[in-house]
Amino acid sequence: MRYQCIVAYDGYDYFGYQIQNHEPLTIQQVIQEALQKLLKEKICIYASGRTDRKVHALGQVFHFDTSYDLKEESIQKGLNSFLPQSIRILKVNKVKDTFHARYDVVSKQYLYRIQNTALDNPFLSRYVVFIKEPIHIDLLNQAGQLFVGEHNFKNFTTNREDEVSTFIKKIMKMKVKVTKKEIQILFEGSGFLRSMVRLMVGAMLAVATQKKDLTYIQSLLDLSSLEKCSYKAPPQGLYLKKVNYGRR
């Protein structure tokens, strides 16, 4: 049987999502070990994609196969009983054997949280990024809109050319939301390269704090710049918000 799971996690204390040879603690490792304790069989989980160290998820998706035919609620409850509080299974769905958490993705949404204040809040430092310089919201929005559409994001990733089949990605939506306490940036795209969102946000903030102008981003997108983006936003403000799937 194949099951799809939606999981939320606080990624601050983990070495990213994907199991690494020499890193002691990853999200994938902890979930797999919990599943193996629950089901008493070797389990490998397959996620929609990886998240970096200290990056969070509100709605990461993974699937796994098991020889058992169990109720979804039983898996959710049992798995959460073996997981630390920093990882919670939000929902479990029984799916067709043809479903794949990575290859069936239609789009993903990422959220980035910022507080524009001179005084950091120690209780939020794991979950938002504090910026002391004035942020011009109009410039932030204009900078973000430059990313909407289909572009070559070669200058907005840490991926090497031999690691990906293409640098072309499509951003369907970019939205800046300002609340009383926070600035939130939302991206929805067909797919994202390694560190792509953090580099886009970093470039947007460079423009919004008037370190750079809008032509900086445009030159990186049209590849007229010989350099890659040099502004990378910190990881703890980033959340994988939602993964969207189409019907097969």
Q: Where are the domains of the chain?
A: 2-95, 106-245
Residue range 147-167, pLDDT digits in tens: 999 999 999 999 988 888 899
- To 10 degrees, what angle do helices 137-145 and 196-208 make? 140
Instruction: Please say if the pLDDT value at position 248 is more than 50.
Output: no
Active site residues: 52
**What is the pLDDT averaged over residues 199-218?**
98
| pTM attached to this predicted model | 0.95
CA distance 156 to 49: 18
Assigned CATH class of 2-95? alpha beta
Residue range 28-67, pLDDT digits in tens: 999 999 999 999 999 999 999 999 999 999 999 999 999 9
CA distance 102 to 208: 34
CA distance 10 to 17: 11
> What distances in angstroms separate CA 248 from CA 53, 54, 63, 214, one per listed residue?
32, 33, 16, 40
Question: At 216, is the secondary structure helix, strand, or coil?
Answer: helix
CA distance 60 to 62: 7
Q: What is the CATH number of domain 106-245?
A: 3.30.70.660
Instruction: Please say if the pLDDT value at position 200 is more than 90.
Output: yes
Closest CA to 206 of 148, 153, 142: 142
Q: Are 127 and 90 in contact (CB under 8 A)?
A: no
Domains 2-95 and 106-245 share a fold: yes
Enumerate the β-bridge partners of residue 169. Answer: 151
Confidence class of residue 246 from pLDDT cuts 50, 70 and 90?
Answer: confident
